Amino acid sequence: MELATILLFTVAALSSLFMAWVIGAGSSGATPFAPAVGANAIGTMRAAFLVGILGFAGAVTQGASVSEAVGRDLVHGVSLPATSVIVVLLIGAGLMAIGISTGYPIATAFTVTGAVVGVGIALGGDPAWAKYAEVGAVWLFTPFVGGGLAYAIAALLPRSDVPERNSVPLLAGLVGAVVANLEFVFLESVGGTPAAAGAQFLPLDGTAAVGVVTLAVGSVAALAVRWDVDRDQAGGLRRFLLVLGGLVAFSAGASQVGLAVGPLLPLFDDVSMVSPIAVLLGGGLGILVGSWTGAPRMIKAVSQEYASLGPRRSIATLVPSFLIAQAAVLLGVPVSFNEIIVSAVIGAGLAVGGGAGVSPRKLGITVVAWIGSFVLSFGLGYGTMFVLEF
């Protein structure tokens, strides 16, 4: 390998690490525990520490799906060279850094996706219309699904005819059942999910056995949370909220790492000494460091400036956030955690306070920033590669 090529690969890898740091400091590091911080269930610095560890774990164990989508599925007929990867990552990271410095949560998925598509088309690639439709549908429906579910849960929890010793364990059971069916790289040889792995020890056929394990895990989760809530209602709600924050942080790492390392994957197709797992490890490490060093500012922005959340509204925010995040990982769709969390925060706030705790101006600026970041990143990517190729 020539020295110039080695240097380009090195710069591309450093750009990817910088992007991972920005993601950890911004959307992946800030949003998962922001509702818990807003509910005074955990301090800002402790939240940043935990989200870094859990984001790293999610990146390594579940990050391959979205990484493949970002690196190979957004543009057909062309593989991004090292210079293009550098352009993509610097555009994405630069726009994200602006969001962090101003306190407005720029959508990472929008910036990176726009840059990849713009650069790829400028290089002569063909648009991947089917993938765009899938990605666009997830982006479009996320606010309605996440906000709607958060609204429904937040409206249900305070009802006198639905005691929290019943409603909260029901949510815990649902979350436990989903966790049992999460796909992990290290479980591929035994079915890919904890439920499939456990099903091998039951004298039933595949589907029935997986169903039994799923029901068992969900039931255990529900019973554990019910016992905790009965013993100490305030403490039980707070502990359940922290578990939800951890699951969302884990899911954030699984999804967001693909935005940092996905563009790198085609570069290493012919370099056998660098495995995809090593690339994910590097991205996960960048997210961890970013969460520890840069996330507190954005945690405060999301938890305090959008709405004042209590434990119940925070639970209503995190349950749909976890479900949507894992659905996106399963589909291999890059998704913005800022969009997920902020939409759920707004939905929960509307159910409880009629929107009194939500700043319309802040929300409007955020939505404009999301749309503008995609358009701007696409234009910058296309324009930069057009000039370089010319």
Collapsing DSSP to helix, strand or coil, 127 comes out as strand
pLDDT confidence of residue 29: 64
Measured between alpha carbons, how far is 372 from 363 in angstroms, rounded to an integer?
14
Closest to 311 measured CA to CA, from 303, 302, 299: 303
Q: Above 50 in pLDDT, residue 307?
A: no
Count structural domains, the chain.
1
Collapsing DSSP to helix, strand or coil, 76 comes out as strand
pLDDT confidence of residue 274: 67
Closest to 37 measured CA to CA, from 193, 210, 249, 224: 249
| pLDDT tens figures, 11-64 | 888 888 888 888 887 766 667 777 677 767 788 788 888 888 999 999 999 998
Backbone φ and ψ of 76, nearest 5°: -100, 150
Mean pLDDT of 323-339: 90
Q: Above 50 in pLDDT, residue 298?
A: yes
pLDDT confidence of residue 270: 63
Measured between alpha carbons, how far is 292 from 212 in angstroms, rounded to an integer?
39
Distances (CA, A) of 122 to 1, 263, 317: 27, 16, 39
State pTM to two decimals: 0.87
Determine the structural domain holding residue 367 and report its residue range.
Answer: 3-389
Who has greater pLDDT, 269 or 56? 56
Mean pLDDT of 164-183: 93
Torsion (CA) 284, 290, 293, 294 in degrees, nearest 10: -150
Count CA within 13 A, CB hemisphere, residue 81: 12
Mean pLDDT of 225-232: 93
Helix H or strand E segment including 27: helix 27-30
CB-CB neighbours of 215 under 10 Å: 15
| pLDDT tens figures, 350-374 | 887 665 556 677 777 777 877 888 8
